Chains A and B, each alone.
Chain A
């Protein structure tokens, strides 16, 4: 299920190395400012030692105070350094975040367009956004802290050496040993942290699935089953959390070994060392380095690397797996030199299925859409009407057979060339934040204001345009109703240069009158294919294609009424429902199979009381 920790770390390592290389200057400035930042750490023990030995213990308290004043200066220098390292980190972290954001967006839009029709959730986008932010924050923390750790510890060791070089022999080995121990634990930590993350996500997903269905689960009396399903994830998550707790124990052990053991060593070895003349002040100074610099810095380092560092490695790895190593350009077939002759769309012997084991949606299917055609496609939901629209427009490729646009195989044409001949308006209207005019010019950037206003007028979008503040008004997609969004995309399609329009339930959120107006306008504009949501679309079209799952029948409203019982059912029932059958109506005249089974004789429910 999950990749091994080695490759996870490698992905993060590669990305990090690339970022650091690309922003060499910022990295350089970061390192340069780290030097003044470490000044207080470097001087603290030394100054304390001098202040004690030459000042306070030598009955010269003012000299001691003067030494301490040096430490004030160092602190000011350090603050200046700290301030600038934090500014410098922006030069590495922010471009990295920009780069990731660009890649997330590019991959998101490209993949969605390639698998047109797969629904994407806001949740997925939110998850991506969170991951990018997570990488940004953890990366910043990681470079600030690990760089600070190296510089500060070096400074403290240098300071110690300035007081008593031989003490380094007591200090350095446990410190190094603890870091080795920690890095060994860290390798395992990557895996544990990743398991923890996966377990948490699985738990959230399962809980969401189960609770969103709580009513349905109760209705199926499947509470036990659903609870067990969630329990599995809860148990797995708790197990992963406990494994992570063991890593926390290693973290504190590292601090104990790398921070406290050297201190103990110095204390115990001090007799031996002072035998060679270590002053009281120098001893205090060395202990100050250890207790005040090394222990807190090591603690901070271990905490940050053990949490933010692991999160960084894992989140970045997952993100990169999702968005690809770096944007790869889609390998479209070489553009055809052939130019389509006209905009006639043809399906020839087309077969399409959603999977090898699936029954085909279309089998050896032929269809031609002529210049001023007006074709309605009807059939039950799920029968493959939208698939047909996608095949016609070249956004879905058939398993067998060919799709021709103006006599040229449609997949040989560049996508932009296809777009010049046909426009697809799907059910989910795409509106972006921007002006109304920008949205309307989406398919025809050169459209004049008059063209736009004329289209608005023809399609009956005048009131909507007024409400939005005219062509210059700003559109917030989420503030529009589904019907308003559809109306805008229809105006947009109307002004598109393509002569063929394919409406895939593109009017389902409009009322029947508005729908009729739209369809008539498009029929007068050029060729029109309507994937019908309401049967009324078929009644006003020139030709009707009925897909009922087993075969396809092409005709017009009248001929299909005569030839297909299924079609009669659909139109008859629709008529019945729209003009409810109080008196004998079409429901009785069409097909006895759909007539209500009214048993008035016995067994009527009775109200005991109405009150």
Chain B
């Protein structure tokens, strides 16, 4: 953890050095102008010393300012990212889609992290720009008129540039996306291509939009060239308007030569008004980033209690539990007791609340009303360590994390050892295919393309250590029928653990001691499968699921 200290002191350093630079930058043209006048009068004077001092300030303070402007956001961004990652993990997947969270961590936090620097620089950046206009006015009011006329032209030209490019850029990006899509398809279809021996044809096919891309690319440059030409014209003209007016004032004796030189520089400095807008744009972006970060950080995450579960058989009770998803109740006032040590199936049509029931039982979510207890202890009061030891969950589509296959399985275990991981793999019938991987358990996860069934088996192995309750949220749906039968046999056999099995297949429900049948968020019935099977409504639950 990085304390707030270094960041705050860097921001102070930034403000001080940026302020010094701004003042020096603003004062320098005048000082140089006065020095020139001194020199023309052949007298070395205090202004030369002033110029030396101001340039010395710039030489020292400018690099320090840039250093601080780089350091402060690095500290702040890292701090925000740490909090953001931790909090989204605590929210357990409810922070949003992974892509969205990653974008908030990467760009949202970075934008927000630049907030302090952006604000300091935007405010201080006003000093030279506004100061330059003021300085022109101080030298002679008429200089400001010439300067402003030029500035109006610049903004008009910049505006036109934005309008011009968008169409070309859009067509360019479309051609680019077309190539990317073709390439993605070809790579995904690589087995077909390899077998058909059509690599050269496919390369040509992917590159078919290339001429269009190239033509649009050249066109972008032509558009850009036009505005570059305009820009190249406005810069000197703006300067010229100041010089011309200054020249006449010089002739009239209202301006010294040195002041004319200063006016030329103030004219250029004042043109930085565009950068001013950009500076405040960065502040706005930082605020938007901060909002994106806060949207996650402001969400309450479940907290763990201090208690350890007392010894018990693993009896699971729901007491008047209501759970809502996006405000809509998905479980309504559900009360039930699942006796310890038994396999129990949870069935129901999609949307009946099966998965919510499963995630409440595993304390992945908390009920909006009522409570869920394991062996008499409300799950909200149990410590994370105790939960890890006692409860395991396996999902339909497990997401595996870890450097290697073995590490992914070890994630849930308290003190993973090769033999504990191996035992879990064997129990979940994952040992055979893992042993065929290039480095067995040590095979990097990233290099292991897994089928749905293989992932499910690893997901099951990961949860296998649970002592008291194992929740299977449709966790065997992708297994081939033989493997599923073997695993269910293990779960429903001699095990002393409570198993809560969300099932879509009738065969799975048939293998459990009893079935909790959910309908529209309520318990419709609790009974053995064979008993329920006589009810046509119950059979209809499995209707579309013949295989």
Contacts and interface: CB of A to CB of B under 8 A. Distances in A.
Chain B interface bracket (under 10, 10 to 19, 20 to 34, 35 or more)? 35 or more
Contacts of A221: 384-385, 387-388, 412
Most buried by B among A125, A270, A354: A125
A442 B196 CA distance: 9
A214 B265 contact: no
Contacts of A207: 81, 85, 101-102, 105-106
A291 B207 contact: no
A220 interface: yes
Given A116-B190, A242-B74, A605-B516, A382 B196 contact: no
B294 interface: no
Interface stretch (B135-143, B418-426, B525-533): B525-533
Contact of B187 (A112, A244, A603, A607): A112
A105 interface: yes
Interface stretch (A94-102, A154-162, A463-471): A94-102
Contact of B506 (A430, A489, A581): A581
A506 to B, nearest CB: 10
A382 B453 contact: yes
B327 to A, nearest CB: 21
A85 B228 CA distance: 9
B180 interface: yes
Contacts of A61: 247-248, 251
A357 B438 contact: yes
A236 to B, nearest CB: 10
A569 B485 contact: yes
Contact of B232 (A79, A244, A593, A594): A79
Contacts of B547: 512, 534, 574, 577-578
A260 B58 contact: yes
A180 B506 CA distance: 77
A68 interface: yes
A334 interface: no
Interface string A428-443: 1111111000000011
A238 B203 contact: no
B496 interface: no
B528 A604 contact: yes
A584 B291 CA distance: 61
A322 B321 CA distance: 55
Nearest to A594: B485
B59 A257 contact: yes
Given A86-B221, A433-B182, A120 B462 contact: no
Which of B186, B224, B244, B485 has the most A CB atoms < 10 Å from its CB? B485
Interface string B186-205: 11111111111111001101
B236 interface: yes
B380 interface: no
A61 B247 CA distance: 7
A359 B210 CA distance: 46
A200 to B, nearest CB: 8
B453 to A, nearest CB: 4
Contacts of A212: 98, 399
Contact of A393 (B65, B94, B195): B195
B350 interface: no
A189 interface: no
A82 B82 CA distance: 47
Interface stretch (B47-55, B124-132, B274-282): B47-55
Contacts of B48: 267-268
B153 interface: no
Interface residues of A, number: 194
B330 interface: no
Contact of A606 (B82, B93, B486, B526): B526
Contacts of B186: 108-109, 112, 430, 432
B482 interface: yes
Contacts of B67: 245-246, 248-249
Contacts of A358: 435-440
Given A291-B265, A354-B437, A423 B485 contact: no
Interface stretch (A52-60, A365-373, A453-461, A521-529): A52-60
A374 B384 CA distance: 56
Contacts of A55: 247, 251
B483 A425 contact: no
Interface in A558-611: 566, 569-570, 573-574, 576-578, 580-582, 587, 593-594, 596-600, 603-611
Interface string B425-446: 0000000110111111001000
Contacts of B62: 252-253, 255-256
B193 A101 contact: no
Contact of B193 (A112, A215, A235, A263): A112
Given A238-B75, A598-B513, A605-B336, A291 B507 contact: no
A535 B481 contact: yes
A429 B215 CA distance: 32
A319 interface: no
Interface in B451-482: 451-454, 459, 462-463, 478-482
B35 A267 contact: yes
Interface in B73-109: 73-75, 77-78, 81-82, 85-86, 88-95, 98-99, 101-102, 105-106
A231 B484 CA distance: 38
Nearest to A417: B197
A390 to B, nearest CB: 8
Chain B contact residues, majority secondary structure: helix
B239 interface: yes
Contacts of B395: 215-216, 219
Contact of A82 (B55, B231, B533): B231
Contacts of A607: 335-336, 516, 523, 525-526
A230 B87 CA distance: 12
Contacts of A291: 29, 32, 265
Contacts of A597: 343, 489, 492-493, 511, 513
A133 interface: yes
A231 B82 contact: yes
A237 B76 CA distance: 12
B192 A211 contact: no
A120 B184 contact: yes
A324 to B, nearest CB: 14
Contacts of B13: none
B191 A116 contact: yes
B268 interface: yes
A333 interface: no
**Interface-central residue, B63, B192, B539, by most chain A CB under 10 Å:** B192
B398 A216 contact: yes
B533 A234 contact: no
B148 interface: no
A611 B522 contact: yes
Contacts of A248: 66-67, 69-70
Given A83-B225, A223-B89, A598-B513, A430 B336 contact: no
B433 A216 contact: no
Contacts of A114: 194
B151 interface: no
A51 interface: yes
B454 A256 contact: no
**Which of A102, A249, A354 has the most chain B CB within a 10 Å cutoff?**
A249
A402 to B, nearest CB: 19
> When A and B form their complex, which 4 residue pairs have the shortest distance between CB atoms, in order from nearest?
A245-B70, A430-B189, A355-B438, A218-B92
26 contacts: A37-B232, A75-B235, A82-B225, A82-B232, A98-B214, A101-B213, A109-B202, A113-B193, A117-B191, A118-B190, A128-B183, A207-B85, A208-B99, A215-B93, A217-B92, A221-B387, A227-B89, A245-B69, A249-B64, A264-B51, A264-B52, A267-B51, A287-B261, A358-B437, A414-B197, A607-B516
Given A120-B187, A219-B364, A600-B513, 5 more contacts: A86-B229, A268-B52, A577-B547, A587-B507, A604-B513
